[in-house]
Amino acid sequence: MVVPVVTIIVPVYNAGQYLGRCIDSLLNQTYNKSDNLDIIVIDDGSSDNTQMVGESYAKAHSNVNYYRTDHVGVSSARNYGLDLARGKYVMFTDGDDYAEREYVEKMVHELEADDNMIMSVCSYNRIIWNRSYSVEHLIPSGIRTSRDYLVDTLKNPGHHYFGVVWNKIFRMDIIRELGLKFKDYITLGEDFVFGLEYLRHSGYVSVIDDKLYNYCYGHSDSLSRVLQKEIDDCRDEMNNRRHIFEEYVKSFETEGIYNKYEKIIYRYWIVFYNRQLYSCKHDYKWNSADINNWMSELENEKLIIEAKKIVSPFYIRRHYYLFTIDQSLKKKIKKIIHLFSR
């Protein structure tokens, strides 16, 4: 029996102190037999010791390949990796995260359960200041159609579970058939758009509850994380959301179910609006002029105006109330975690 090659693409930027842990977790996979695991590290122009770490692993291991680019961003780095991929399947990890030993084996097993399977999805742990916390199950495990999985994302389209690529495995033949690339003009949410486009290839998706990936939150450097937002970051996020929403609508139209789910789809903008409203009151360290300007921009955003017409006022108020409670609880929990992690 020929074991298919799996390519794992690892974009990394200024995460040299964590990269070794990431690569070790991939080299120690239960699937890593007979050189069937192809690890591609793409250094996105790091200025720390990332290059030294990447080159040392590439020198010591024949299935680890290190490449360095100018600082072009996570999407371009991943696209570079896709051009180099030789695997039948492809997975993605971030250089400051790490995987459980059965990460690849279980994901491949699920993907190969049916010839019409196009993707498998696992759960994960969130690592905050070196402590592990399980992520809630958003959808039940099992096999569903790609259309049903698309509808599943409506439960929380902004959640990492749906919006990242590192808890999923993809087929390279489908990526090539669709000509998929990560869109480098989207700087936040590019993973979600890639997944939406991928789902336009009909088939089945296998969802498993196994927590096979460790997402490490709390580092100061990353390819995609912003810890303290400025007003320009928020404007950038809103612009990204326009692109994401366009693809979201297109995916539902392609499946012929947009009209059925239009009200729920537009909640995407209500969630964004309420989060910004809350952050302006409680989080952003801005002066009053910037807060007023940003709130004015939000109120005049056409898609938010449209969302307020489509989504019921009761839902908008209820969501803000529940979001406020949720954020307050999270802040208290994080303070406790940080206190006991010192």
Q: Same domain for 250 and 168?
A: no
Q: Which residues of 157-168 are buried (b: 16+ CB within 10 A; e: fewer)?
A: bbebbbbbbbbb
**Statement to judge: residues 161 and 67 lie in one domain:** yes
Does 223 reside within a domain? no
- Same domain, yes or no: 239 and 128: no
Please, are residues 12 and 223 in contact by the beta-carbon 8 Å criterion? Answer: yes
Q: 119: exposed, middle or buried (C-beta count within 10 Å: 0-12, 13-18, 19+)?
A: buried
204: β partners: 117, 145
**Burial (Cβ within 10 Å: 0-12, 13-18, ≥19) of residue 342:** exposed
pLDDT value, residue 222: 45
Q: Which pLDDT band holds residue 33 (cuts at 50, 70, 90)?
A: low
- Cα 335 to Cα 310, 338, 339, distances in angstroms: 38, 5, 6
pLDDT at position 2: 60
E strands, the chain, are 6-12, 37-43, 64-68, 89-92, 98-99, 117-128, 131-134, 142-145, 168-171, 204-217
In a domain, 236, yes or no: yes
Residue 76 lies in a domain: yes
Q: What is the pLDDT of residue 137?
A: 76
- Are 208 and 239 found together in one domain? no
Which of 167-171, 248-252, 272-276, 323-327 is the least confident region? 323-327
pLDDT confidence tier of residue 134, bands split at 50, 70 and 90: confident
Distance of CA 218 to the CA centre of its chain: 16
Asked if residue 224 belongs to a domain, the reply is no
Residue 21 one-letter amino acid: R
Q: How confident is the model at residue 337 (pLDDT cuts 50, 70, 90)?
A: low
Question: Pick the residue with more confidence: 332 or 263?
Answer: 263
The answer to whether residue 203 sits within a structural domain is yes
Residues 121, 267, single domain; the answer is no
Q: Is the pLDDT of residue 139 over 50?
A: yes
Residue with tokens 């709130």: 295
Please report, for the domain that includes residue 24, its CATH number: 3.90.550.10
Which whole-number Å values give the CA distances from 161 to 74, 89, 111, 140, 292, in the listed order? 18, 20, 18, 13, 33
Kindly state whether residues 16 and 121 are assigned to the same domain.
yes
Contact between 24 and 214 (Cβ < 8 Å): no
Percent of the chain with pLDDT over 70: 94
Average pLDDT over residues 50-65: 96
Q: What is the pLDDT of residue 225?
A: 45
Distance CA 230, CA 165 (A): 26
**Nearest by Cα to 182 from 171, 198, 193:** 193
Query: In this structure, is residue 127 part of a structural domain?
Result: yes
Q: Which of 187, 217, 247 is the last residue of a domain?
A: 217
Q: Are 74 and 95 in contact (CB under 8 A)?
A: no
Query: Per the domain annotation, does 225 fall within a domain?
Result: no
- Based on the fold, state whether residues 167 and 269 are members of the same structural domain: no
Mean pLDDT of 264-284: 95
Instruction: Provide the residue range defining the domain that includes 243.
Output: 231-341
- Domains in the chain, number: 2
User: For 190-239, what is each residue's pLDDT tens digit?
Assistant: 999 999 999 999 999 999 999 999 999 765 444 444 457 899 999 999 99
Is 58 in the same domain as 154? yes
Contacts of 178 (CB under 8 A, 6+ apart): 197, 198, 200, 201
Mean pLDDT of 95-114: 96
Mean pLDDT, residues 149-171? 93
Q: Are 77 and 143 within one domain?
A: yes
Same domain? For 184 and 65 the reply is yes
pLDDT for 188 equals: 85
Examine the domain organization and report whether 255 and 183 are in the same domain.
no
- Same-domain pairing of 20 and 143: yes
- For residue 244 the two structure tokens come to 């994401």
- Give the C-alpha separation, 191 to 240, whole Å: 12
